[in-house]
Structure 1
Amino acid sequence: MKWSHPHSYYRLHKFSDTRWVERHDALIVFKRLLPYVIEALTDIASWKNDGNARSLLKKIDFEFIVSLSVLSAILTETRPLSQQLQAVSTDMLECSTQIKSVHEKVQSLRENDVFDAVYQDAIKLGLEINVNESVPRLANRQSHRSNHPSSTPSEYYRRAVFIPFLDFVLSQFEERFSDYHATASSMCSLIPSYFHKTSFDDMAPSLLLYKNFLINDSMLGLDDTHDYVTEFTMWRSRWSAVEKSSWPTTILDTYEQCSPNYPVTKKLLLMYATLPVSSATAERSFSTLNHIKSYRRATMGEDRLNGLAKVCIHRQLSNNDVIQNFVTSIIDIFSKKKKRRKEFII
């Protein structure tokens, strides 16, 4: 379905299974186009023997509209976080700061009186599609939903929809991102700008997690994680003679200014800098394979598939002169392999 007017153009978005930002956009656009969706379903319902459209129309009641407005209002706050988690270049410390900020913002929605504005938006949307303000039928005994005591429809939907959904989102923040904060605390222990907030104890979880990896590295000369205390102390003392205005504030900046005299610290900084924030980067390779390995290339070998995937994923490198010359030489070699009806070389 498409809708256009002189200043904008919208299309209903597909509800993606893997792209989080697409889910936010799909819901926000659906809410914006709901009157036109109703109009389309009404026309389809008039067709002969089409009961799906009529059943969908019956489900769009005032409770559905309130739920849609609440979901849209909250996802508007979480959308920037989803964009950052799917970004190509971002570190875990930056994401942890953003997660805390969004968590506090969503928490403030519960504490402040925000629902009134959301409810008025739902009433306005209901008037556009001829759905009046109402509450579900209440009974003395309910088996499929709770009876929320209320004196007004606004109070009912606050207790039945708004607060439960906010509590669910907040609980998901705690469940999904608790490990981010623990890892970010370990990162902060090595960044000079956070020395006043951290100590060696904050490094303990990371040292325990990477204990075998660090000890087995013969280049580090580390027999036990407790031996790192001395280097950690020297690393923090090294920055005491530097002006605070020159202290690095990110993992990458700290890694670039870390000399080989602190091998364990440099190794930890490298590990922190390369930790994936999410699985979005790995999932991009799956999307790339859909374009590369089609049914016409089902017999493609592994080496060629890996090469084409790298070229497709890192296509920005194709602007490099060295890469361009290399590609040209490959085309020349391929064109001279055997006689062809048309010349490849121009």
Structure 2
Amino acid sequence: MSGKKRDGTLFSFFNKKTKNEHVNISNIPNDLDVIEDPDKSDAKIHPPEVLKMFVKEPLTNYKKAPEFLKHHASTQYHLLATEKISAFIQSFKTGESVEIMLNNKVSSIMESNRKRLVPIIKTIIFCGHNNLPLRGHRDDGILDIDSALVGTQGIFRSLLAFRIDSGDKELTNHIRSCKKNSTMISKTIQNDIINILHKVIIETIVTNVKKYKYFSILCDETTDISTKEQMTFSVRYIDMEEMKIKEEFLGFIELNSTTGSAIKDTMVKQLECYQLSLKNLRGQGYDGGSNMSGRNNGVQALILKDQPLAVYTHCFNHKLNLCISKACEIQAIRNLVGIVGSISVFLSTSAKRTNIMLEIISKDDSVPVPQKKKLKALCATRWVERHDSIITFRELYSYIVITLEELEKMSDSETACKAVGFSASIKRSEFLISLEIVANLFSYTKTLSLVLQSPKLELSKAFSHVNDVINVIENIRENSTSRFETYFKNASDMAALVGEDIRIPRICGRQTTRCNIQTTDPMEWYRITIFLPFIDHLISQLKIRFNEKLSEVMPLEGLIPAYIDKYDESNIIKAAMIYNEDWSGQIMDIQSEISIWKNKWSNIQTIKPDTVIETMKHCDEFFPIIKTLLHVFATIPVTTASAERSFSTLRRLKNYLRSTMGQDRLNGLAVLNVHNKMPINIDEVINIFSRSSRRIKTEDWSI
């Protein structure tokens, strides 16, 4: 092997014709070492490719050597080799091992890849938090920034292009230097990252549930846009550090069967998936469907066989809705609800009719403009809106009458015909009296409905609110004459606004289909025929449906200082013994602790705590059994409103444009949207991603 020459002399060799040819070494780049192999000097060489002659075979044709060498000096693999040999020489001089050098190189590649993933993960989180669809019609291949910015490649790629356009250097460097199979923005990578985000959020929630031991489950079912039966799955537990009741959404489960046994098996399997023990289950919250609440084969009964301490609660909001629906079966009230619903749909579904009504309201300067200017349709599932629709109709009554009178004059025969019928219906005395009665009584149940939807509500407080409303309505019933006089006067004023009077319907000698009270006083007639039956039905329904006092566990309410005298001590001890395995003691232990507890609060004259959470703040290590019992009592669910709210997320996520979304992707995006305030550790997400088959630790995506 000949040495490298840098003195400008000629470098000679034999060509295929055995003639000497020469090349001037000064024409060779200074950073290249020229090595001559005598064994190859007489080989028959045709003009080779640069990669072949310098990597696989030596250079023997020196005629174009300067051109080939200059090109070779600028190639990426030569620069990388130069960097490696420099590092090797440096390590040789400093004594640093090759193993350390390799580890440093791997660490450098890994750190570079992690930085490339950060803006991609943040963009997916942004889309999930804001319920934005990620994919577009064409969203494969290398990111075309100009095309993505105009929105032809989906929101996810558009947001990436927007980040690049706004100066995100890491993302810009990644997109420009990555290989086609290492862009990390494909739909497959999206699904992987969404699944990891879902896993991180769920693990955070489940860790807290395990930490505080006791929990309840909240479930409900609905059918999505692709006609799949989806069951929402949530948990309720007490955060003992923050002293808060929390109800957390965990995901949707596709049901292949809606029988009680099938749903129960699915729930148990899901709990095993989350590694939540059935031993710590202390409550169940469902609606009143037979497959959920059935005494023998319902889900609650089957769960109770495996875990007798999992107390079942029929959702309080569903029960309130059933009370109101049953009370509204009185003929006059039923007709009112039907007419209000039909008129609301008639006026609100047409832009032209809505604008006519808005114009009529804006022209009225005689009274303050009402806050609500549009009617709400009666909703079968949204409890507050059902109350609001009647109350809003009452407030806008005079404007509705004028609007219908205007619509009677329209050339559209169908619209005019309906307007005439609706106008005549709402001017009837029976309708006006019923509207006034229902609007006033619904104002009480509306407040109750709002309160019962709180995820922080406790069982004792829920019953207290229900009893408060029952007491108020019973007071109205006791003073029915004076109260109805006010309602009758208001109805008479509404009738006067439309040029009508409150009259008694015609009375015939023999009548079997309606009330035939022998009185000539309109106020007395409507009080007896409509007001009293409706209020009696409402009171009886509230008492019947909320009379389920959960008699076995409700005496634990007596541990709350505000209700300490409400229950006999023997009943409290009996309820405490049900949960004996949770506090593991003898009956004398709980007896002595309750006696000390009662004595403590009997000497306090200030305002006493009236909730479980407030009471638990006063339970120190001196009252361990009482603290455990209060913990379990607060875990028992009141309503499934939190579970119901997840259906709104489902409808926004899985719509007619995204009806084929897979279950894993659906759950990942749903959890991101519902828990959008939960902080996410990006490094943890990347760590999980790096443990997959993507080889983030060793593969350099830039070459």
TM-score by length of 1: 0.80
Q: Relative to 1, partners in 2 of residues 1:251 and 1:37: Cα closer, same or farther, differing over 3 Å? A: same
Q: Is the 8 A contact 2:437 2:487 kept in 1?
A: yes
| Structure 1 counterpart of 2:662 | 301
Aligned-pair CA distance for 1:195? 2.2
Deviates more, 1:259-268 or 1:74-83: 259-268
Aligned-pair CA distance for 1:228? 4.2
Aligned-pair CA distance for 1:172? 1.4
Q: How many angstroms apart in 2 are the aligned matches of 1:207 and 1:15?
A: 44
Residues 259-280 of structure 1 show CA distances to partners (whole Å, capped at 9, x for unaligned) of 5776654443223212222232
Q: Which runs of 5+ in 2 are unaligned?
A: 1-353, 363-367, 695-703
The counterpart of 1:84, out of the listed 443, 447, 451, is: 451
Q: Which of 1 and 2 has greater Rg?
A: 2
Aligned-pair CA distance for 1:122? 0.1
2:419 is the alignment partner of 1:63: no
| Structure 2 counterpart of 1:284 | 645
Q: How many angstroms apart in 2 are the aligned matches of 1:146 and 1:16?
A: 30
The counterpart of 1:254, out of the listed 611, 615, 618, is: 615
Q: How many angstroms apart in 1 are the aligned matches of 2:645 and 2:574?
A: 31
Aligned-pair CA distance for 1:140? 1.8
Aligned-pair CA distance for 1:52? 2.5
Q: How many angstroms apart in 2 are the aligned matches of 1:307 and 1:18?
A: 26
| Structure 1 counterpart of 2:466 | 99
Matches within 5 A, 1:89-128: 89-112=456-479, 113-128=482-497
Q: Relative to 1, partners in 2 of residues 1:248 and 1:233: Cα closer, same or farther, differing over 3 Å? A: farther
Q: How many angstroms apart in 2 are the aligned matches of 1:101 and 1:64?
A: 29
Q: Relative to 1, partners in 2 of residues 1:108 and 1:192: Cα closer, same or farther, differing over 3 Å? A: closer
Residue identity matched to 1:59 = S
The counterpart of 2:682, out of the listed 319, 326, 339, is: 326
Q: Is the 8 A contact 1:90 1:277 kept in 2?
A: yes
Q: Relative to 1, partners in 2 of residues 1:87 and 1:220: Cα closer, same or farther, differing over 3 Å? A: closer
Q: How many angstroms apart in 2 are the aligned matches of 1:63 and 1:246?
A: 48
Q: Relative to 1, partners in 2 of residues 1:38 and 1:206: Cα closer, same or farther, differing over 3 Å? A: farther
Q: Relative to 1, partners in 2 of residues 1:105 and 1:249: Cα closer, same or farther, differing over 3 Å? A: closer
Give the alignment's Cα RMSD to 1 decimal: 3.1
Residues 79-123 of structure 1 show CA distances to partners (whole Å, capped at 9, x for unaligned) of 221111122322222222222221111111111211111100000
Residue identity matched to 2:526 = Y
More helix as a share of residues = 1
2:519 is the alignment partner of 1:150: yes
Q: How many angstroms apart in 2 are the aligned matches of 1:134 and 1:15?
A: 28
Aligned-pair CA distance for 1:284? 1.1
Q: Relative to 1, partners in 2 of residues 1:262 and 1:297: Cα closer, same or farther, differing over 3 Å? A: farther
2:383 is the alignment partner of 1:27: no
Residue identity matched to 1:25 = D
Greater relative contact order (Cα 8 A, min sep 6): structure 1 or 2? 2
The counterpart of 2:563, out of the listed 194, 198, 208, is: 194
Residues 19-66 of structure 1 show CA distances to partners (whole Å, capped at 9, x for unaligned) of 222112111110111222222222333344323222222322111001
| Structure 2 counterpart of 1:341 | none
Q: Is the 8 A contact 2:384 2:449 kept in 1?
A: yes
Q: Is the 8 A contact 1:92 1:180 kept in 2?
A: no
2:405 is the alignment partner of 1:42: yes
2:564 is paired with a residue whose SS is helix
Aligned-pair CA distance for 1:13? 1.5
Residue identity matched to 1:326 = I
Q: Relative to 1, partners in 2 of residues 1:12 and 1:278: Cα closer, same or farther, differing over 3 Å? A: same
Q: Is the 8 A contact 2:504 2:520 kept in 1?
A: no
Q: Is the 8 A contact 2:558 2:565 kept in 1?
A: no
Q: How many angstroms apart in 1 are the aligned matches of 2:588 and 2:505?
A: 63
Q: How many angstroms apart in 2 are the aligned matches of 1:80 and 1:253?
A: 23
Aligned-pair CA distance for 1:297? 3.1
Aligned-pair CA distance for 1:291? 1.1
2:547 is the alignment partner of 1:178: yes
Q: Relative to 1, partners in 2 of residues 1:133 and 1:66: Cα closer, same or farther, differing over 3 Å? A: same
Residue identity matched to 1:34 = Y
Q: Which runs of 5+ in 1 are unaligned?
A: 338-346
**In percent, how many aligned pairs have the same letter?**
29
1:197 is paired with a residue whose SS is coil
Q: How many angstroms apart in 1 are the aligned matches of 2:516 and 2:661?
A: 60
- The count of residues paired between Structure 1 and Structure 2 equals 318
